[in-house]
Amino acid sequence: MVVYSSIIGVGRTVFGEHYERNPEDLIEEAGLNALINANIERKDIEAIYISDYFLQITNKIGIEEGFLAELLNLNIPMERFRSFSSALMNACLAIYSGRYNVILVGGVEKISDRLDKIRDDLMMLYDPWTYYSGGTPESSHELMLREYIKTHNIVDKSYNKFMESLAYVSVKNHKFGSRNKYAQFYGREIKIDDVLNARCISKGILGMYDYAPPITGYPSDGSTAAIIANPRIAYEYSDKPIHIIGLGSATDYISYTLRPKRIGFKSVELAGSKALGEAGISINNIQIAELYDQSTIMEMALLEDLGFCDYGKSWEHIYNSYVENKLYYELDDGVLYVNTNGGLKADGNPLGALGGAQIFEVISQLRGVSNDRQIKVENELKYGLTVELEGFGTKAYVFVFRGD
């Protein structure tokens, strides 16, 4: 089995509005936290891979690397990516190739600096024709929901149950997020009726509580960082390095309308099976997963694309958790915890930094340092997985982690 790299430290900021702070200030805080967590010095870093989506637009920052070089007084190689997961994947491959031993991976976003125009800017993650036709950041989610309902013929009583199970995704994620002191909605639990009422207010299929920031109107600023090292030297720095044992990434058409698969994402299917195949484990071995819940329907669809549930069945598992008031999903072959940090919904989604929060959570859980969010499973907690998407499933990144 391959170990691509080992994560020796993670750090992050609180997600939410950081009105008084520059993006550099946020990345500094997350980076320092990660350095402290990994117990290394600035000079130990051999390269930096940083990610952000919109700094060029929100803050008119064109060369992020230069800001970091200045901030750290370092002249080491640095590269810039869009999502944290793409930065991490490339960093993993760089470590695996033997080029570097220690890399700082960081992500940052400062959406609130351009709140008035961000809804239109977010349409850059779609194809222009979607925008020209009046598409919004929400509309593709709702079209997928309609396709799901029609394809699986969810009607009458089932329809109401189905919509409740979707609502429960949000309730569950808020429950976790309310216990996460870094989360945008720390201390903010919601009830199933809140989600259902928000749908009445929106007078659409889904409501505000079905969507995660930034498309709810709540911007998420924030930064995350991880220090990854060559597994050979990981133990020199950390007692409990977490190993990345599977990587997968895939793409899909930018135009949702032109995709042959419009329920769930082909990209997730491909990236997931690739990552699991490399890790040499089956999906049933995964005990904790961070799934990209930009909307409640997305968490539901991703469960199916990754193979946790059969197509058209994930909502029934979710519904059972709702009825039995459980924070995990009981699948055919065991128990799965999803989005224990609160997910995008409650933790927040500072696009470029988001993947770092997923990794932060899985690492903390596998290390057993998640305090009152720490999950307990029957066997030893060993395998975790993250899925991050760019755009509406246009790119998918899947990582499989193994605890020490």
Partner 1 sequence: MSSEPIERRVSYIGDKLRGSRCSICGGMYFKPRDYCGSCGRVSIGRMEEFSLFFEKGKLETCTIVREPTNSFRKLESFIYGIVAFHNGKIRIPARLTDYIVPRENVEISLFEGREVTPRFRRRYSVGPDEIIPTTSLTFTFIDEYYPYQHYEIIKPNKIYENPGIVGYGFYTSRFRIKEGNMIRAVPFLDEDSITATVEAAKWALIHSAIDHSLIGKVYVGTESNPYAVKPIASKVIQVLDLGEKLGNGVQGVDAIDTEFACKAATSMIKDAVSLVSYEKSNIQFTMVIGADNSQSSPRDSPSGELDFFVGFGAAAFIIGKYDVIAEVEGWYSATSDTADFWRRDGQRYPSHGGRFTGEPAYFKHIAKAASKIMEKMSLKPSDIQYFVCHQPNIPFPVRVARILGFKEDQYLPGLQVGRFGNIYAGSSLLGLAAILDVAKPYERILLVSYGSGAGSDAYVFVTTPQILSKRFRIEKFNVRYQAENKFLQYINYDTYRRFKEGI
Q: Which residues bind partner 1 (CB under 8 A)?
A: 116-117, 119-120, 123, 128-136, 138-139, 142-143, 145-147, 150, 200, 202-205, 255-258
- Which residues have a Cβ under 8 Å from the Cβ of 339 and sit 6 or more positions away? 172, 173, 176, 289, 290, 291, 293, 299, 345, 347
Nearer Cβ to partner 1 (46/142): 142
State the burial class of residue 136 (Cβ atoms within 10 Å of its Cβ: 0-12, 13-18, 19+): middle
- Nearer CB in complex with partner 1: 130/184: 130
Please state, in angstroms and rounded to a whole number, the distance separating the CA atoms of residues 64 and 387: 25
Closest CA to 392 of 87, 86, 137: 137
φ, ψ of residue 273 to 5 degrees: the values are -70, -35
Tokens representing 348?
């927040």
303: its two tokens: 């469960």
Distances (CA, A) of 60 to 22, 64, 192, 218, 320: 12, 10, 41, 21, 48
- C-alpha dihedral (321, 327, 331, 334), degrees to nearest 10: -140
Cβ 147 to partner 1 shortest distance, Å: 6
CB of 126 to partner 1, least distance (A): 9
Helix (H, G, I), strand (E, B), or coil: what is residue 14?
coil
Residue 256 or 360 having the CB closest to partner 1: 256
CA distance 207 to 227: 38
Q: Side-chain half-sphere of 42: how many Cα atoms within 13 Å?
A: 12
Q: Which is nearer to partner 1, 133 or 374 (CB)?
A: 133
Q: At closest approach, how far in Å is the CB of 315 from partner 1?
A: 18
Peptide bond into 213 cis (omega under 30): no
Smallest distance from partner 1 to CB 128, Å: 7
The pair of structure tokens assigned to 283 is 């999906």
Q: Least separation, in Å, of the C-beta of 136 and partner 1?
A: 5
CB of 123 to partner 1, least distance (A): 6
In the complex with partner 1, the residue whose CB is nearer, 135 or 246, is 135
Q: How far is the CB of 141 from partner 1 (least distance, A)?
A: 9
Q: Of the two residues 128 and 277, which places its CB atom closer to partner 1 in the complex?
A: 128
- Least Å distance, CB 215 to partner 1, is 10
Do the bridges between strand 383-390 and strand 288-290 make them parallel or antiparallel, or are there none, so unpaired?
parallel
The distance of closest approach from Cβ of residue 117 to partner 1 in the complex, given in angstroms and rounded to an integer, is: 7
CA dist 245 and 236 (Å) reads 20
Is the CB of 29 or the CB of 127 nearer to partner 1?
127
Name residue 18's amino acid: H
103 strand-pairing partners: 47, 228
Least distance in Å: CB of 374 to partner 1? 38
- Own/partner contacts of 114-117, CB < 8 Å, gap of 24 or more, are 114/54, 114/57, 114/58, 115/219
